[in-house]
Amino acid sequence: MLGTVVKSTGSWYLVQTDENERIECKIKGNFRLKGIRSTNPIAVGDRVEFEKNKDGIGLIYKICDRKNYIIRRASNLSKEFSILAANLDMAALVITLNYPETSTVFIDRFLAVTEAYNVPACLIINKTDLYGEEDAEYLEAIVYLYENIGYSVFKTSALTGENLSVIKNFFIGKTVLLSGNSGVGKSSLLNALNPEALAKTADISFYHNKGMHTTTFSEMYRLPDGGYLIDTPGIKGFGLIDIEESEVDHYFKEIFKISSQCKYDNCLHIQEPECAVREAVEKGQISWSRYQSYLSVLEDCHAEKYRKDEYL
């Protein structure tokens, strides 16, 4: 049988067949995990092949080829990374400029990951109803910064419904990963976009996690007008995996564009002579915050090990 993973607890998976039947599955005993470096070999969004045992439980024995995926460095030191979701059309980062504050370093690292794994990305700035005059000015500065780089940015409030119809239309027909820090209102936004989301989760009963909160595990929800949202647990940070120093500027759009004007092809934009990127930073053509985020990723690549305590 063939289906799509719509929920993952890490050991149990809910798979929806093409006939819309939902079957609780686990990995078959002889599933080949050799060479898989992730904490979760199967992710929400994966297409999988499985068979039912006599108890009606599905046994997954194959993952179909992925068109793309989003990963982050795992907090479990025994593995290298975890896959947040697979087969995506869009990755939407939900941020708040206050209550709580989402740092630009976090935003830039997320966007760098999406660039590295060929997933289009957008930003959703939530809780606009809470922002005062100073917050509102910062909000417009953030919108200006990232729209000029080339990302779609949406201002919204899950409470008041500001721009929800615009976001709904933008997501139609897409499979979208919804990610962000804890407390930014991802679940509230999900429920605003699809009021039936929580009711649907109440109907799902995994053998070992009954009554768990909806954001404990990644889960896919169908949008009323077409498309899917994948809700994920709140995260603290992102680290890029297996990226060479010379590749980092590829994942900062505006830096990569200007880097072609540097004197040296292997310029890292730190202290090399006639560096067009550093000159652009000094002139304000590249924002200082983006350049600092670039340097922080570059430092991770240079270090022998990832600085877990700072970003995770």
> What CATH number is associated with residue 6?
2.40.50.140
Q: Is the per-residue pLDDT at 308 higher than 90?
A: no
Looking at the predicted structure, is the pLDDT value of residue 204 above 70? Answer: no
Amino acid symbol at 1: M
Q: Please indicate, yes or no, whether residues 77 and 185 belong to a single structural domain of this protein.
A: yes
Residues 6+ apart with CB under 8 A from 291: 255, 269, 277, 281
119 falls within a domain: yes
Please tell me whether residues 206 and 254 are part of one structural domain.
no
Considering the domain architecture, whether residues 50 and 163 belong to the same structural domain is answered as no
Q: Is residue 296 part of a domain?
A: yes
Q: Which of 163, 196, 231 is the last residue of a domain?
A: 231
Same-domain status, 259 and 195: no
Residues 75 and 199 in one domain: yes
Same domain, 91 and 216: yes
Which residues neighbour 236 within 8 Å (Cβ) at sequence distance 6 or greater?
A: 181, 182, 311, 312
Report the pLDDT averaged over residues 205-232. 71
More confident residue, 198 or 178: 178
Question: For position 281, which CATH number holds?
Answer: 1.10.40.50
pLDDT at 119 exceeding the cut of 90: yes
Q: Residue 123: give the domain boundaries.
A: 70-231
The mean pLDDT of 159-165, rounded to a whole number, is: 94
Residues 259 and 150 in one domain: no
Lowest mean pLDDT among 45-59, 131-145, 213-227: 213-227
One domain for residues 139 and 213: yes
Pairwise pLDDT comparison (116 vs 214), residue with the higher score: 116
Q: What is the pLDDT of residues 63-111, one digit of tens each?
A: 999 999 998 775 544 446 788 899 999 999 999 999 899 999 999 999 9
Q: What is the DSSP string of 225-264?
A: TS-EEEE----S-----S--GGGGGGGSHHHHHHHTTSSS
Residue 144 lies in a domain: yes
Do the domain assignments include residue 239? no
| Percent above pLDDT 90 for the chain | 69
Same domain (yes/no): 116, 260: no
Same domain as 272, residue 192: no
Mean pLDDT of the chain, nearest integer: 86
What CATH code is carried by the domain that includes residue 147?
A: 3.40.50.300
- Residue 240 placed within a domain: no
> In the predicted model, is pLDDT for residue 274 greater than 80?
yes
In terms of average pLDDT, the best of 7-16, 162-171, 178-187 is: 162-171
135 and 20, same domain (yes or no): no
- 295 and 184 part of one domain: no
Q: What is the C-alpha radius of gyration for the chain, rounded to an integer number of angstroms?
A: 21
